[in-house]
């Protein structure tokens, strides 16, 4: 006779965690309380395997207005203005139901930003899928892009940038990370801490249903399994409802009608009420009978844990409730007073006059145990290798690299997004390394999001440092100085020693790089258990960064112009190790070259000042595919050929021709401009900083590097680089 599984295990709580709950409560929890604990003590909500590591990150700086712990971080951009931003994951929901998973990921990150009182002005996305020869990966990519476009376009927030990689370890567990940027008055933002005993707790927005029960909070806290049975757990989004909710909340905040505001995301009312009470040092009573429902017969625990979308929780003074309701009615947004702030320091769940749950806030929110990792470096490469190229000649290799889905133009995707709505966008996707958005009253901000899981898999510490440096380099290429960073740490099961080692080393790399660049981390997200029976994903820290620039008219571009002199700037010492070429050859393994962070930082500052001064019309950092790909991309975007002699660089750095052309690593920039300005740059910096290598012109790309030479037409390079759309023709309408 089989023994039934204890209820706490069914809800994802370990035996030791259940015993701790009983000890802290001094009694056994009832079923509703147990459901609340299962969500707030989940990995997604409690960060129980990562919180200790996150304490390493630098979080303070002279421009930081809001740091970790709020719905989003915020930095001062002068003139009484603030920029709020955050990145979050919606990985497992997107793997199960890609359209709604991606769409509600966008909706959730928008709410995090306008919960502060900031108007969302931009969305960026960082996506990972398996290889495109997989029908499933093509389906997921197609539907995720459609979901992002549907939500962002409908609500009127431009999608201005992002990145997409295709690698085998993401075949069964795609990654969908969304970043939002918003603008606010620096002194007008609101925090999420509940305050004022006797104040009303008001639920704003859509009615509550059973969609999303056990959604993000559960799906993101366990390894992903095959099957469709989890599809009902994926939330259903309505961007038009969110548009009304957003405008309503912004007006309520502008009129000073709200004491506090919190997004209802993972774990729904349980997390929002618990977190607001914990931050304010108060208690909250919630009456489930007063929660507007879209489905009859919902049990109290269903109301508490539902992750129905487009909802916010507000604290309102009783005397202002009528004003709040009037604003909501004008925006056709639901509003209901469902409880009140108390001095009990407990979350009480009522059903009319009956108390159906009563849990101390300190136990529910802060009582979850934090675990120490048990890291162990793996003995070798564990992700497999499969050669997909037989190219020998450098020209053939360049065409294959330009056509590789991870490097090829993502125009097929970003043309499905509205990148210019709101009329702020100065640099659209593909035109520059970072998105540029002008601000009212002068100046502009730039935004970038970056990460390369393959290189982090080769060396978690150095690969993460590279991701931070590349994000800062992308900002430099448009003339922007970093103000703050956010991150999304996507890893496998942290209870496994090799994943724990990756997470530990990566977090330390993130801390050290941000410290070296003096860039504070103002918020972020951790997504663990991204693996299946087939194995874990690549360790994938994604870095988002916001910077400022004084003159958007001088923002740099990727494209070269006819007659531009071309130079390579920075301490670039490329290696084929961990590169896209090594991947195509099936020759990946552990190890990356050492990183001279101080020299790379100096090169970043040099490029930034050159762009700001108007001396550099073209600036593009060297990343995936190496210097040859970077030069080709500058030529393609500019619509002009180029000739480059890399022999001086080969000699100076002691490189082979192949590593000079296709090797990767931080600290390299391709820059272009008038010959006098480029020659002055090269002479003033010296051989270690800038090398004049050629000139833009004609209709061919010709590059020589010692024993390696290549020549191809600009048209052939363009055709290879723009091949992604052709590969996606006939993408399947449903998962295989």
What pLDDT, in 10s, does the model give residues 429-472? Answer: 999 999 999 999 899 999 999 999 999 999 999 999 999 999 99
146/130 Cα distance (integer angstroms): 18
Tokens encoding 188: 């007008």
End position of a domain, from candidates 334, 349, 368: 368
pLDDT band at 225 (very low <50, low <70, confident <90, very high): low
Indicate the average pLDDT of the chain.
93
Of the pLDDT bands very low, low, confident and very high (cuts 50, 70, 90), residue 735 is: very low
Q: Which of 188, 202, 205, 206 is nearest to 118 (CA)?
A: 188
What lies within 8 Å, CB to CB, of 228 at 6+ separation is 96
The per-residue pLDDT for range 368-427, each reduced to its tens digit, is 999 999 999 999 999 989 999 887 799 999 999 999 999 999 999 999 999 999 999 999
Give the up-direction half-sphere exposure of residue 498: CA atoms within 13 A in the CB hemisphere: 17
Decide if 200 contacts 276 (C-beta within 8 A): no
Can 498 be counted among the known catalytic residues? no
Domain containing residue 358: CATH number: 3.90.650.10
Task: Count structural domains, the chain.
Answer: 2
Helices (H), 286-360: 300-305, 321-330
Average of per-residue pLDDT across 554-564 = 96
Contacts of 117 (CB under 8 A, 6+ apart): 184, 185, 188, 189, 190, 250, 253, 254, 261
| CB-based contacts of 257, cutoff 8 Å, min separation 6 | 316, 320, 323, 324, 327
Instruction: Tell me which of 341, 368, 395 is where a domain ends.
Output: 368
Q: Quick one: pLDDT band at residue 266, thresholds 50, 70, 90?
A: confident
Angle at 370 between CA 367 and CA 372, to 5 degrees: 160
> Does a structural domain hold residue 551?
no
- 44 catalytically annotated: yes
C-alpha 441 chain-centroid distance? 29
Please check whether residue 386 lies inside any domain of the structure. no
Tell me the pLDDT tens digit for each residue of 634-677: 999 999 999 999 999 999 899 999 999 999 999 999 999 999 99
pLDDT at 236: 83
Assess if residue 635 is contained within a domain.
yes
Distances, alpha carbon 22 to alpha carbons 32, 44, 93, 359, 683, in Å: 14, 22, 31, 11, 71
Rounded distance between C-alpha atoms, residue 100 and residue 110, angstroms = 15
- Residue where one domain finishes, among candidates 368, 399, 422: 368
Q: Residue 683's pLDDT is what? A: 86
pLDDT of residue 436: 97
User: What is the reported pTM?
Assistant: 0.95
Q: In the predicted model, is pLDDT for residue 215 greater than 50?
A: no
Band (pLDDT 50/70/90 cuts) for residue 233 is low
Please report whether residue 467 resides in a domain: no
Q: Would you state the pLDDT for residue 731?
A: 57
- Neighbour-count burial for 173-195, b at 16+ CB within 10 Å, e otherwise: bbbbbbbbbbbbebeebbbbbbe
Banded pLDDT at 220 (limits 50, 70, 90): very low
| Torsion sign over Cα 491, 367, 234, 308 | negative
- Cα 20 to its chain centre, rounded Å, is 34
Q: Confirm if 38 and 486 have CB atoms less than 8 A apart.
A: no
Q: Residue range 335-340: average pLDDT?
A: 98
Distance CA 123, CA 126 (A): 10
Whole-number pLDDT of residue 327: 98
CA dihedral 196, 200, 206, 209 (to 10 degrees): 100
- Identify whether 611 is part of a domain: yes
Q: What gap in Å lies between CA 604 and CA 216, rounded to an integer?
A: 38
CB 249 within 8 A of CB 317: no
> What is the pLDDT at residue 223?
54
Query: Is 644 within the bounds of a domain?
Result: yes
Longest dimension (CA), the chain: 86
Per-residue confidence (pLDDT) for residue 729, from 0 to 100: 79
* pLDDT of 218 higher than 60: no
pLDDT class for 2, splitting at 50, 70, 90? low
Q: What does the pLDDT read at residue 474?
A: 98
Among 228-237, 262-271, 348-357, which stretch is predicted with the lowest mean pLDDT?
Answer: 228-237
Residue 615 phi, psi (nearest 5) = -80, -25
Q: Domain range for residue 204?
A: 32-56+190-368
The pLDDT assigned to 153 comes to 96
Q: Where are the beta strands (DSSP E) in 462-569?
A: 481-490, 521-527, 531-532, 535-536, 540-549, 565-569
Return the structure tokens found at 403. Answer: 């056509």
Residue 301 C-beta-side C-alpha neighbours within 13 Å: 13
In a domain, 251, yes or no: yes
Provide the token pair at 418. Answer: 């509205």
Q: Is residue 70 included in any domain, yes or no?
A: no
* CB within 8 Å of 15: residues ≥ 6 apart: 6, 8, 9
> Residue 242's pLDDT band (boundaries 50, 70, 90)?
very high
For the cut 70, the answer to whether the pLDDT of residue 195 exceeds it is: yes
The tens digit of pLDDT for each residue in 69-111 reads: 999 999 999 999 999 999 999 999 999 999 999 999 999 999 9
pLDDT digits (tens, 9 = 90+) for 9-54: 999 899 999 999 999 999 999 999 999 999 999 998 999 999 999 9
Nearest alpha-carbon partner for 712 in 387, 400, 390, 388: 400
Kindly name the residue from 49, 90, 601, 620 that is annotated as catalytic.
90
CB neighbour burial string for 43-70, b if at least 16 within 10 angstroms, e if fewer: bbbbbbbbeebbeebbbebebbbbbbeb
**Active-site option among 44, 49, 150, 601:** 44
Give the per-residue pLDDT at 390.
82
With bands split at pLDDT 50, 70 and 90, how would you rate the model's confidence at 258?
very high
- What strand order describes the sheet that includes 64-66? 64-66, 73-78, 81-89, 175-185, 119-129, 159-166
């Amino acid at each position: 006779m089989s023994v039934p599984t204890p209820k706490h295990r069914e809800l994802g709580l370990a035996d030791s965690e259940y015993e701790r709950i009983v000890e802290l409560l001094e009694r056994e929890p009832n079923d509703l309380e147990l459901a609340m604990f299962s969500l707030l003590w989940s990995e997604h909500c409690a960060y129980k395997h990562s919180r200790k590591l996150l304490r390493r990150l630098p979080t303070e700086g002279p421009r930081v207005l809001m740091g970790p712990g709020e719905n989003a971080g915020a930095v001062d951009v002068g003139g009484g203005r603030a920029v709020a931003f955050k990145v979050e994951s919606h990985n497992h929901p997107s793997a199960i139901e890609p359209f709604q998973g991606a769409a509600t990921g966008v909706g959730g990150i928008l709410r995090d930003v306008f919960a502060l009182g900031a108007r969302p002005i931009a969305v960026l996305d960082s996506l990972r899928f398996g290889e495109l020869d997989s029908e499933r990966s093509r389906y997921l990519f197609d539907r995720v892009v459609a979901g992002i476009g549907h939500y962002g376009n409908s609500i009127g927030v431009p999608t201005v940038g992002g990145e997409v990689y295709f690698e085998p370890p993401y075949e069964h567990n795609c990654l969908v990370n969304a970043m939002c940027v918003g603008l606010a008055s620096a002194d007008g933002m609101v925090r999420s801490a509940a305050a004022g005993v006797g104040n009303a707790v008001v639920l704003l927005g859509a009615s509550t249903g059973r969609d999303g029960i056990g959604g993000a909070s559960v799906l993101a806290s366990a390894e992903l399994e095959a099957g469709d049975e989890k599809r009902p757990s994926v939330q259903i989004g309505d961007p038009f409802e969110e548009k009304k909710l957003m405008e309503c909340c912004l007006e309520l905040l502008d009129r000073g009608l709200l004491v506090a505001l919190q997004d209802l995301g993972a774990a729904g009312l349980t997390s929002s009420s618990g977190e607001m009470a914990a931050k304010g040092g108060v208690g909250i009573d919630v009456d489930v009978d007063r929660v507007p429902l879209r489905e009859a017969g919902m049990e109290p625990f269903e109301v508490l844990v539902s992750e129905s979308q487009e909802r916010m929780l507000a604290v309102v003074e009783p005397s202002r409730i009528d004003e709040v309701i009037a604003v909501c009615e004008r925006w056709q947004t639901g509003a209901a007073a469902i409880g009140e702030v108390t001095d009990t320091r407990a979350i009480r769940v009522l059903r009319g006059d009956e108390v159906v749950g009563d849990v101390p806030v300190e136990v529910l929110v802060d009582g979850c145990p934090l675990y120490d990792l048990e890291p162990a470096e793996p003995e070798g490469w564990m992700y497999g290798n499969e050669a997909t190229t037989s190219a020998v000649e450098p020209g053939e290799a360049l065409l294959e690299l330009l056509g590789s889905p991870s490097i090829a133009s993502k125009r097929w995707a970003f043309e499905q997004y509205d990148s210019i709505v709101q009329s702020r966008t100065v640099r659209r996707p593909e035109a520059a390394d970072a998105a540029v958005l002008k601000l009212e009253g002068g100046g502009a901000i730039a935004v970038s999001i970056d990460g390369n899981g393959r290189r982090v898999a080769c060396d978690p510490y150095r690969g993460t440092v590279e991701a931070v440096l590349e994000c800062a380099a992308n900002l430099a290429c448009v003339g922007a100085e970093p103000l703050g960073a956010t991150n999304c740490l996507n890893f496998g099961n942290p209870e496994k020693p090799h994943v724990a080692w990756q997470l530990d080393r990566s977090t330390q790399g993130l801390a050290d790089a941000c410290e070296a660049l003096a860039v504070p981390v103002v918020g972020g997200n951790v997504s663990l258990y991204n693996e299946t029976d087939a194995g874990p994903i690549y360790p994938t820290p994604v870095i988002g960064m916001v910077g400022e620039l004084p003159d958007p008219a001088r923002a740099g571009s990727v494209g070269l112009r006819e007659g531009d002199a071309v130079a390579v700037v920075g301490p670039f010492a490329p290696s084929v190790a961990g590169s896209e070429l090594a991947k195509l050859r099936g020759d990946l393994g552990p190890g990356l070259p050492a990183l001279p962070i101080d020299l790379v930082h100096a090169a970043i500052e040099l490029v930034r000042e050159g762009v700001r001064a108007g001396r550099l019309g073209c600036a593009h950092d060297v990343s995936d595919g190496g210097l040859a790909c970077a030069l080709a991309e500058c030529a393609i975007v500019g619509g002009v050929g180029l000739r480059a002699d890399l022999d001086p660089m080969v000699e100076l750095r002691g490189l082979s021709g192949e590593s000079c052309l296709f090797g990767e690593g931080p600290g390299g920039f391709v820059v272009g401009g008038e010959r006098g300005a480029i020659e002055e740059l090269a002479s003033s910096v010296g051989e270690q900083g800038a090398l004049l290598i050629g000139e833009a012109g004609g209709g061919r790309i010709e590059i020589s590097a010692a024993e390696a030479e290549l020549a191809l037409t600009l048209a052939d390079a363009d055709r290879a680089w723009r091949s992604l759309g052709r590969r996606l023709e006939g993408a399947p309408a449903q998962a295989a």
